[in-house]
Chains A and B, each alone.
Chain A
């Protein structure tokens, strides 16, 4: 979003980002001692989802209101591969990521032609079509979803039905995805993407095929969102319609906004905040919706930089 408060920094060193990265890894490595591991795995999956979304919105300036279609498609693909075809978990996740990437390619080709609100509306429309498709087709199990998905044996050796092994698997995937995004953001490709976000016409006048770059960013974002969805399906051993519903698309926007648009670590923080909130307020039913709405309003009116954005602004270094 081109009018997002620009973070201008003078420092070129990335030490702060490395420090933040190490802190994040340590937190996720140690936390399972005190905190319920399944909850942490959920946080990591959503963190990856939000990071993938942020790549598109925060760095690419494209608001997609249909990202749930990637999360859900990959969830169903992985669940089906693991349960019906009996594939190993790593193959199921790879297969699901490929499916999401394919969907992102098709959706991207349709949506990239338009900009701003029209782009968001097309992604929303496509996501709705995907939702209704999954509601109908038998393989998804409709309202039941695909249940009893086996976690399987990683590489045929490590049994993932043990929470500890599964935790390490999820953490590895999350860190890999995160690092990939980090690398992309700091690469020439990432720079061009940011340039397109700031001023598309100028980028075109410099000779860049902006549509091509936007499409690639869209596909990467969709693919990584898919990775998150596939992993989540294996953690919970369930793929359901909730993951393709448009309210899930809204939630990932919220996570990114709260955590900090355009920051690397923001989405992780945002995901942790929102998932925790949902967990601890689950008994209060509709209060979750109200509080989510309040957070949206507060973030938009007064807290546009988000948590990590504010911290980054305070220490005057990008995070």
Chain B
């Protein structure tokens, strides 16, 4: 530390003996020198922690790691930043204990400064707490729970991409308004499923709809036939799938098998990602309504990104989470440069201060409770005849503006938000 300080003084003293231009140049170099001094070990290290081999490996996995690296490359190229950035990845296997282990080791011994991604809400919550305890930073693109910007919020955690409230509100409101006013829930019987069901039910009731029934399916379940039969018997117009991953794809597949959609009922996938639709195939998934905050075919910039991403990832197109990782890393690096430090708490504050703008999510901002705001889109899955090729799966039904898409800050019970 002392060496840098004395350098700064020397440079400053020397500069005072020259003309104004030299002074400016010298000052800039001195500032750069001082800024470098505040980046721990001279390197900004980003850790991408997610499910590399399990249920969510297609939605996050190696794709997120590749998205993070692309973000670093793009940012350094476009901003000519002097930062040295390293990206590492690890698998948390969807287990909070494995995730905590990796996070602790990363922060304590491997000098990681920021952890990105982290799908599976239980792991996300654990990482948020550890990051806060150690003064580092966690920018979460993968977890669903809205508690990350609510009850469990802290000054070192920022929640990107999506959350359960946005999903419930987006899908729920739009469907009820378009006529789907009677619902039957198939809920995965664990915390995430209950939360999703509760949030969606609230939205349905608020918009004048009715919930005709619900059934809790053991988590995980392979065979939904008997639950789907119950849904069919209820004659609800909409069958809400408050589940994720394998449960969602299985229930959609079997709903198709039992002719549920042909019988006039529609499925609402509360948490469905593009790779899920890809693995189901359009024949089974057609007509499904879902909400995402990113889709590769929205505009030219997203299309260009998708092409680059696919080239680096064996032809797979980016999911909302992987896009979120890209976008969050870019904004993070911007904030590090602006704050001239990689100290977690300070960068988090800077990320909330600076508005966001990237090629994938457009313009947005990060609120005081750590919630990133951007528009959400209601999509419907195309019929096989409407699709022109692989991954051409969605048609845009409605756009929800950023200020309506996410839960109002005052309702979130986040301790960081002062009660007025």
Contact = CB atoms under 8 A, between A and B. Distances in A.
Interface of A: 36, 38-39, 42, 132, 135-136, 141-145, 147-148, 236-238, 240, 242-243, 279, 282-286
A147 B96 contact: yes
Nearest to A281: B91
B360 interface: no
Contacts of A144: 96, 121-122, 125, 191
Contacts of A141: 122, 191
A39 B105 contact: yes
A242 B91 contact: no
A282 B98 contact: yes
Contacts of B126: 145, 147, 238
Contact of B219 (A135, A240, A285, A286): A135
Interface of B: 52-54, 57, 89-91, 93, 95-98, 100-102, 104-105, 108-109, 120-122, 125-126, 129, 189-192, 218-219
B100 A285 contact: no
A240 B52 CA distance: 20
B97 A240 contact: yes
B97 A143 contact: no
Given A142-B191, A286-B53, A147 B125 contact: yes
Given A141-B191, A148-B129, A283-B89, A236 B95 contact: no
A3 to B, nearest CB: 36
A38 B101 contact: yes
The 10 closest A-B pairs by CB, nearest first: A285-B53, A144-B122, A142-B191, A142-B190, A286-B53, A285-B91, A285-B52, A143-B122, A143-B190, A240-B96
Contacts of A147: 96, 122, 125-126, 129
Contact of B90 (A136, A236, A240, A283): A283
A237 B132 CA distance: 14
Contacts of A42: 101
A68 to B, nearest CB: 13
A147 B151 CA distance: 13
B100 A238 contact: yes
A120 to B, nearest CB: 24
Contacts of B189: 135-136
Contacts of A240: 95-97, 122
A74 B87 CA distance: 38
Contacts of A236: 97, 100-101
A38 B108 contact: yes
A186 B215 CA distance: 55
B95 A242 contact: yes
A10 to B, nearest CB: 45
A36 B105 contact: yes
A282 B95 CA distance: 12
B131 to A, nearest CB: 12
B191 A285 contact: no
B216 to A, nearest CB: 9
A39 to B, nearest CB: 7
A282 B125 CA distance: 20
30 contacts: A36-B109, A39-B105, A42-B101, A135-B189, A135-B190, A144-B122, A144-B125, A144-B191, A147-B96, A147-B122, A236-B97, A237-B100, A238-B96, A238-B97, A240-B96, A240-B97, A242-B96, A242-B97, A243-B97, A279-B101, A282-B90, A282-B91, A282-B102, A283-B52, A283-B91, A285-B52, A285-B54, A285-B57, A285-B91, A286-B53
B129 A38 contact: no
A150 to B, nearest CB: 11
A237 B105 CA distance: 15
B121 A143 contact: yes
Contacts of B89: 283
Nearest to A232: B97
B197 to A, nearest CB: 14
Contacts of B120: 143
Nearest to A135: B190
Given A144-B125, A148-B129, 19 more contacts: A38-B105, A38-B108, A39-B105, A132-B218, A135-B190, A141-B122, A143-B121, A143-B191, A144-B96, A147-B129, A238-B96, A238-B100, A240-B96, A240-B122, A242-B97, A279-B101, A283-B89, A283-B90, A285-B57
A285 B108 CA distance: 22
Contacts of A242: 95-98
B81 to A, nearest CB: 28
A278 B108 CA distance: 19
A318 B9 CA distance: 69
B378 to A, nearest CB: 27
A305 B149 CA distance: 53
Nearest to B54: A285
A229 B288 CA distance: 44
Nearest to B129: A148
A282 B92 CA distance: 8
A243 B98 CA distance: 11
